[in-house]
Amino acid sequence: MSPTLWLTAVAMVAFAGNSLLARLALVDGAMDVAGFTGFRLASGAAVLALIALRSGKSSDGESTIGGSWASALALFVYAIAFSLAYVRLGAAVGALILFTSVQAAMIGWGLYRGERPTGREIAGLSVAFTAFVLWLVPAVTRPDPLGTLLMISAGVAWAVYSLRGRAAGDPMRATAGNFIRTLPLAVPLALVSLWRDGVTAEGLILALASGCVASALGYIVWYRALAGLSALAAAIVQLSVPVIAALGAVLFLSETLSLGFIVAATFVLGGIGFALSARQG
């Protein structure tokens, strides 16, 4: 397996982990939206700052952090919009809206920039996305309009963050800088949550796990993987996240593994692998 493929696989598992942690914290009421988002970003920034300080300056003599305010804003918009939407939408509906938005934004940008999909990429994307939609459609009801708008915003913001990450330079420095730049917004959210509702031990653990591990370390890996992916490939592979998250829910949340899920997961992952092999071959 090439470095890009295994880095991508690790990143997708981290993203799925974020979905599971958010579900546990927000749906079960262990923490409110402001607290989960604030502690997630602040704890991620703290871990990344420590890593950056231990790493010292980069080989070109630049400071220990990189990133940009634009990427940090995209990161914050994604985090807060995702959390807000998650309390208004079901998991299946929310995942469908989020990843449809990510696909549309990233593929649209790739086409605008002149990237043309190969026949294998088109075929793989079609198989993966069709299976993905058919898996989710039976659970879809009329989505909450505000929740839908928030999740679309989260998807577009994540697409922007991912696309900017393809040219971010050192992944660790870029991710650290982006998280640290969210602190002026993240810290007040955490403080408001503490003052208004208090923070449960369970909620704090879930938010810290999301921030320190699934987000901070996961995003470093994702930025490394993005250097070897086209915009189309980066969009396609993220279709695997809801499948991985559903499998995690079966393993860790005692949800039922249906035959429909097994069939859909096979076609989603198979389609992704077929599409990505077009760039590897």
pLDDT digits (tens, 9 = 90+) for 236-273: 787 788 788 878 877 877 767 677 777 877 888 788 77
In tens, the pLDDT along 62-78 reads 556 788 899 999 999 99
For 60, 154, 172, 226, the CA distances from 49, given in Å and listed in that order, are: 19, 25, 10, 22
CB 35 within 8 A of CB 203: yes
Would you say how long the chain is, in residues?
A: 281
In tens, the pLDDT along 215-240 reads 888 888 987 888 888 777 777 787 78
Nearest of 90, 91, 87, 76 to residue 33 by alpha carbon: 87
> Where along the chain do its domains lie?
3-280
CB 162 within 8 A of CB 226: yes
**Rounded to an integer, what distance in angstroms lies between the CA atom of residue 73 and that of residue 71?**
5
Q: Taking residues 139-151, report their average pLDDT.
A: 77
> With 0-12 CB in 10 A as exposed, 13-18 as middle and 19+ as buried, what is 216?
buried
Angle made by CA atoms 201, 203, 207, in degrees to the nearest 5: 120
The contacts of residue 62 (CB under 8 Å, 6+ apart) are 173
Torsions phi, psi for 5 (to 5 deg) = -70, -45
Q: Taking residues 125-152, report their average pLDDT.
A: 78
Global pTM reads: 0.79
Residue for token pair 């069709």? 130
Nearest of 106, 99, 98, 103 to residue 148 by alpha carbon: 98
270: how many CB neighbours lie within 10 A of its CB? Answer: 14
Instruction: Assign 41 a pLDDT band (cuts: 50, 70, 90).
Output: very high
Q: Taking residues 171-182, report their average pLDDT.
A: 88
Tokens of 83: 């959390």
Instruction: Assign 130 a pLDDT band (cuts: 50, 70, 90).
Output: confident
**Rounded to an integer, what distance in angstroms lies between the CA atom of residue 281 and that of residue 272?**
14
